[in-house]
Each structure stands twice: as structure tokens, then as C-alpha cells.
Amino acid sequence: MKLRNVIKTFAVCVMLIGTAGVSFAENIDPDNDDSQYVWGENIGWLNFEPSYGPGVTVSDSNLTGYVWAENIGWINLDPNDTDPNTGIKNDGSGNLSGYAWAENVGWINFNPQVPGDAHHYGVTIDLNGNFDGWAWGENIGWINFNSDALFGYGVKACKVNFEIFARFAQYWLDVGRVLPADLHEDNIVDHLDLDVFVDEWLDYCPGDWLF
């Protein structure tokens, strides 16, 4: 085995060991129904919530973390957080842009432009957290985020909406030592917890979100 490959393997092992036992703030697949996959025409399935290592976290300003693809390895969504020209940005309305980095295939553009074509192909996230659109990698071709075309799969991020509110209302009625609706963390459930919930309305669920 070449020295370069040994070093690369060691670096990956260090990353995985370092992430073992750490609770990441990823907020993909909130309903635990496998809403975590997209399809690359030349590379197969990409997993936004891998079973080991850091998954993907969505906020109203960017995407961070790693996507796992069985055929090409890890894809870093924020390869250089000090460089505004890299990493996947969110404009606050769910329109994504920027470049992710895959060690084995290079840059992946989340807002590709097709010369002479005014159609918007880039990746978007709707008000319910569902991803749609296309990303493009010069070395791998198109990546499809459209769940309607992915055999029922797709990617969904946790977003505070009416669906989440229904769960919150159910938790509001809970009694006992554990109070999931105690968002204000004062050991009671009252209007202060509702204030916390409203502050998160239509935003992406924070890492410690209980719903």
C-alpha cells in the first residue's frame, strides 16, 4: 500500500474515532422514514444521515456535515468555513448554492447553471423541509434530489411547522417527571414554552429539538 493511501486511511479512522460517542446536531429524516437519500446517475445512492460519522445539519444560513456515498466516500458540505466561495449556503428561503467537496470526485455544485437554459436546476428546500432539484459534479454528472423520482426516497430536514406543532400540542398534555414540552427548561409547561416554540417557527429544528 502506498504511503499516501496509508495516510488517507489513518486520517479517516481518526475522524471516525473522534466522532464516536459524540451527539451531532444533524436534523435530517425527522420522521425516521428513511427520508435521507438522493440519487447520483453515475454513483448511486447518497446518504445524508449515515449510521456512523457526522450526518448533515440544515440551518437557515448553510448546510454542514458529511454525506456518505458507498461508491465515492465522504462528501463534505462545508470544506472551508472561512472561504465564502466554498460550502453549501442557504438564503433563508430554502434556495441552496455553493460547492461541496468529495475527496475522490472533486467539487459538487448545488446551484448549477446550464448555458442557454433559463430553468432553475439548483437544490431547494420547501416549507416542509423537503429537498428538490439537482446538483452537478463535473466528474460524476447529475445528482437528483426530487423524491417523486426516487422510488419514494428523498431527503427531508426537520422544520418547525404545523406537523411539528401537532406533536408539541400532544406533549403539552403530558405529565410526569419528564416533560418534553418544557422548552423553557423550568420544570413546568406553560406559555413560556409556547414562546420558545414560536421563536423557532418555520426555522430548522435545533440540535436538541425533541420533536
User: What pLDDT, on the 0 to 100 scale, is given for residue 83?
Assistant: 76
Same domain, 129 and 173: no
Contact 112, 121 (CB under 8 A): yes
Q: Which of 29, 24, 21, 27 is nearest to 155 (CA)?
A: 29
Same domain, 112 and 144: yes
Tell me the residue type at 128. N
Same domain, 143 and 170: no
User: What pLDDT, on the 0 to 100 scale, is given for residue 131?
Assistant: 97
E-strand stretches of 12-112: 37-40, 44-47, 56-58, 62-69, 73-76, 87-90, 96-102, 106-109
Same domain, 50 and 143: yes
pLDDT digit of tens for each residue in the chain (211 aa)? 444 443 333 333 334 334 333 334 789 999 999 999 999 999 999 999 999 888 999 999 999 999 999 999 999 999 987 777 789 999 999 999 999 999 999 999 999 998 898 899 999 999 999 999 999 999 999 999 998 888 889 999 999 999 899 989 999 888 777 888 999 999 999 999 999 999 999 999 987 787 7
Same domain, 68 and 114: yes
| Residue 16 falls inside a structural domain | no
Q: List Cβ neighbours of 204 (8 Å cut-off, separation of 6 or more).
A: 27, 58, 59, 60, 129, 157, 158, 159, 160
Same domain, 45 and 143: yes
Per DSSP, 147 falls in state G
| Residue 83 falls inside a structural domain | yes
| Residue 157 falls inside a structural domain | no
Task: Determine the 3-state secondary structure of 199 from DSSP.
Answer: helix
User: What pLDDT, on the 0 to 100 scale, is given for residue 118?
Assistant: 85
Q: Which of 38, 33, 14, 17 is nearest to 131 (CA)?
A: 38
Contact 65, 101 (CB under 8 A): no
| Residue 134 falls inside a structural domain | yes
| Cβ-based burial of 90 (10 A; exposed 0-12, middle 13-18, buried ≥19) | buried
Same domain, 128 and 33: yes
| Residue 7 falls inside a structural domain | no
Same domain, 183 and 136: no
Number of domains in the chain: 2
Cα–Cα distance, 4 to 64 (Å, whole number)? 27
User: What pLDDT, on the 0 to 100 scale, is given for residue 201?
Assistant: 93
Range of the domain at 181: 162-199
Same domain, 186 and 134: no
Count CB neighbours of 16 within 10 A.
13
135-172 in b/e form (b: 16+ CB < 10 A) is bbbeebeebbbebeeeeeebbbbbbbeeebeeebeebb
Same domain, 128 and 169: no
| pTM of the predicted structure, to 2 decimals | 0.81
Same domain, 32 and 53: yes
